[in-house]
């Protein structure tokens, strides 16, 4: 697949969405900030009111979630053959988390504080990535080591920022896939409601709104928009730059596109009052290229001749 895009550095596309029900939607919000509104410059020099519907980091989580079967605590069938690290309880067989679920992936607290066959995961990572004190980082070896532990970290990034890795330069891999959702031409819709208490509406000792009693009015702000746009960039150049062979680089690209295609094919309900339908997909780069179907991409992944040490590195926490 990398060969088919020879000479291309990015895949860039735009997907347009609209609310599934009605005209309003609830954007992402931030503590002490609320909704992230901003002025968007236009080609004529004028600005329009715009809004962040979903952040880069949150959309990364949504992309990763397409690859995880939460009900069965395992990867989706389409990428079941790819390695990852799962963490289980030391005093039993209970599943806790994995490098596909932890926000910091291979560098997450539960992963790094677990052990694999009696060896702490910090030491396992140091050995797999070829890290040495006082020696410049061999990035090609490090990328190969990450690939063998969990190739998703080369798609969505990983930062070994813990002090335990500081003597080795705290290796960091940036995201190869970036996605953000914005709304343009937005207007606020202010409404509200009330939490009812039909049992005993009067206040009393230990019976106030702080305890959840009584009638509690509230306000809320949602938005309408002229357009809601999901923008995505897949950095092919970065994937080539890992120094992996063509089969491995092609597998990374296929996995990244499979996640993206799967996200686009599914209903997109980002939060309680943000349920969106896909309207159109426009590939901006490369010209004339079309995003393959999820089934075609899954077949490419399944037919890959890349081999791994083991599909699951099962570790113990304790």
Digit-coded pLDDT (tens) for 8-64 = 999 999 999 999 999 999 999 888 888 989 999 877 878 999 999 999 999 999 999
Q: How far apart are CA 148 and CA 309, in angstroms?
A: 7
What is the model's pLDDT at position 216? 82
Listed range (33-37, 84-88, 140-144) with the worst mean pLDDT: 33-37
Q: Whose structure tokens read 């067989």?
A: 93
Q: Please, which pLDDT band fits residue 4 given cuts at 50, 70 and 90?
A: low
**Average per-residue pLDDT in the chain?**
91
Q: Please, which pLDDT band fits residue 302 given cuts at 50, 70 and 90?
A: very high
Tokens of 138: 């061999």
157: pLDDT strictly greater than 60: yes
Question: Mind spelling out the 3-state secondary structure of 199-253?
Answer: CCCCCECCECHHHCCCCEEEEEEEEECCEEEEEEEEEHHHHHCCCCCHHHHHHHH
Listed range (124-128, 206-210, 240-244) with the worst mean pLDDT: 206-210
CB atoms within 10 A of CB 92: 8
């Amino acid at each position: 697949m990398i060969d088919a895009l020879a000479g291309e550095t990015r895949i860039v596309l735009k997907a347009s969405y609209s609310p599934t029900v009605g005209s309003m939607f609830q954007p992402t919000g931030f503590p002490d900030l609320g909704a992230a509104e901003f002025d968007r410059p236009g080609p004529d020099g004028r600005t329009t009111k715009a809004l962040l519907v979903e952040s880069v980091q949150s959309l990364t989580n949504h992309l990763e979630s397409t690859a995880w079967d939460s009900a069965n605590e395992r990867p989706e069938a389409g990428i079941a053959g790819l390695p990852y690290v799962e963490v289980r309880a030391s005093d039993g067989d209970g599943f806790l988390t994995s490098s596909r679920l932890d926000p910091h992936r291979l560098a997450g607290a539960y992963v790094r504080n677990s052990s694999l066959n009696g060896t702490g995961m910090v030491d396992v990572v140091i050995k797999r990535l070829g890290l040495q004190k006082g020696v410049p980082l061999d990035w090609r070896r490090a990328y190969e080591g990450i690939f063998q532990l969990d190739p998703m970290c080369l798609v969505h990034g990983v930062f070994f920022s813990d002090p335990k890795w500081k003597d080795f330069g705290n290796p960091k891999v940036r995201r190869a896939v970036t996605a953000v959702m914005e709304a343009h031409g937005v207007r606020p819709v202010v409404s509200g409601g009330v939490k009812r208490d039909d049992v005993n509406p009067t206040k009393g000792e230990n019976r106030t709104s702080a305890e959840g009693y009584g009638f509690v009015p509230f306000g809320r702000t949602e938005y309408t928009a002229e357009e809601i746009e999901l923008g995505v960039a897949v950095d092919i150049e970065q994937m080539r730059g890992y120094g992996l062979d063509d089969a491995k680089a092609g597998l990374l690209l296929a996995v990244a596109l499979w996640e993206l295609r799967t996200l686009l094919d599914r209903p997109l309900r980002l939060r309680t009052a943000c349920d969106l339908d896909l309207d159109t997909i426009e590939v901006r780069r490369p010209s004339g290229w079309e995003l393959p179907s999820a089934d075609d991409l899954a077949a490419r992944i399944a037919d890959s001749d890349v081999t791994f040490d083991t599909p699951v590195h099962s570790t113990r926490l304790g």
